[in-house]
Amino acid sequence: MRLTLAAILLMLFFPLCQAVAQDIRPIRDSVGFCWNPVQMERFVSYLMSIEKELAYTKQIVAGISPHDDYLYAGRMYYPLFRSLRARQIVIFGVTHGTVRKEIGDPKGILLLDGYKEWNGCGKNIGISPLRDYLLSRLDTSMFRLDNKAHRLEHSIEALVPWIQYFNPDATITPIMVTAMPYERMDEISKQLASIIADYVATDHLTLGKDLVFLCSSDANHYGKDFSNSPFGMDDAAHAKGTAQDQRVASEFLSGQIDTTKIRMLTSALKDIVWCGRYSIPFGMLTANKVAALTTHSVLRGNILRYSDTYSEGTVPVTKTGMGTTAIFSLEHWVGFFSAVYSLH
């Protein structure tokens, strides 16, 4: 049987196309997040038009971002990312339960990726040289290279369009954090921070200007769908649940950050269904240790804004190409907040 020239070319180039595709991390959530730059411009322009608070003026070294649908949480993302200016961004993401089931539920390690780029909003976003620096130096007992985990997980990609909108030339180092006790977080973050501090010194980088740390997390997942309704499922229960979220954020994630606060945070989150129960404390431990090693400073933080899907509803802007991936009601709501940290 003769092969046509087109068939021969297809046989030759299809494996090459597959290899190229495998080098680029694909989009996971095409509904809740915005991947079209024109639509992102329309969405952010609307947020700018209603924004009343002044921008955060201090240089941001670390931050906490939501990863819920933009139509729900857009007002929480905006005040963080409009003030963020750094060429390299380390993102500590969640390893959600659905992903854990698919990858064997690893514990006590970090999950790094091997993609050359990630799909972004209109264009791909590059990977920081820091990622390979970590892969070559971090103890192998502390991490796993797992492209599948990163392909399935949405908590890191949620931040990408915001990064690209306000900081289009930035690169990222994606790190998924698995379940682990505080002692293991402390052990891994100590070595990770030491390696990052060496990287900062070698490349003559400045925290905040050249390198920043972001923790991805939504707050309480409340209601019968989450098997989490300790206060009931009415307006009074919603008020108690959101008040609990804000109290935890205020007590442990604002003001001066130290190991005592982070240890107390990990303890508090054992009884609350925050998906960032590991990404936040691990990321804050790492960022604080890097700050101490490179500048002899500690982090001091401010909660920028808190809300939830039931209180917030959806942002009333059209033609964004986005939808919502879950309902909101008194029987199903999710909290979220953003926070920023500077050197002190």
2: left (phi > 0), else alpha (psi -120 to 50), else beta? beta
In a domain, 15, yes or no: no
Tell me the per-residue pLDDT of 258-270, one tens digit each, with 9 for 90 and over: 999 999 999 999 9
In a domain, 1, yes or no: no
At residue 54, the pLDDT reads: 87
- In this structure, the number of other CB atoms found within 10 A of the CB of residue 30 comes to 13
Residue 217's contacts (CB-CB under 8 Å, 6 or more residues apart) are: 64, 65, 66, 67, 94, 155, 274, 275, 276, 279, 280
Q: Which H or E run includes 131? A: helix 129-137
In a domain, 6, yes or no: no
Average pLDDT of the chain is: 94
Q: What is the mean pLDDT of residues 74-95?
A: 97
- Contact criterion met (CB below 8 Å) for 207 and 294: yes
Q: Locate tokens 């060429």: which residue? A: 87
In a domain, 21, yes or no: no
110-112 vs 24-25, strand pairing mode: unpaired
Which of 13-22, 46-55, 62-71, 84-93 is least confident?
A: 13-22
Residue 46 belongs to domain spanning: 27-343
Residue 279 CA to residue 177 CA, distance in Å, equals: 6
- Contact criterion met (CB below 8 Å) for 303 and 43: no
At residue 2, the pLDDT reads: 47
In a domain, 236, yes or no: yes
In a domain, 19, yes or no: no
CATH number of the domain at 39, please.
3.40.830.10
Number of domains comprising the chain: 1
In a domain, 13, yes or no: no
Read off the pTM.
0.94
CA-nearest of 201, 134, 177 to 285 is 177
In a domain, 142, yes or no: yes
Q: What is the mean pLDDT of residues 125-151?
A: 98
Tell me the per-residue pLDDT of 275-296, one tens digit each, with 9 for 90 and over: 999 999 999 999 999 999 999 9
Confidence of residue 19 (pLDDT cuts 50, 70, 90): very low
Tell me the per-residue pLDDT of 195-242, one tens digit each, with 9 for 90 and over: 999 999 999 999 999 999 999 999 999 999 999 999 999 999 999 999
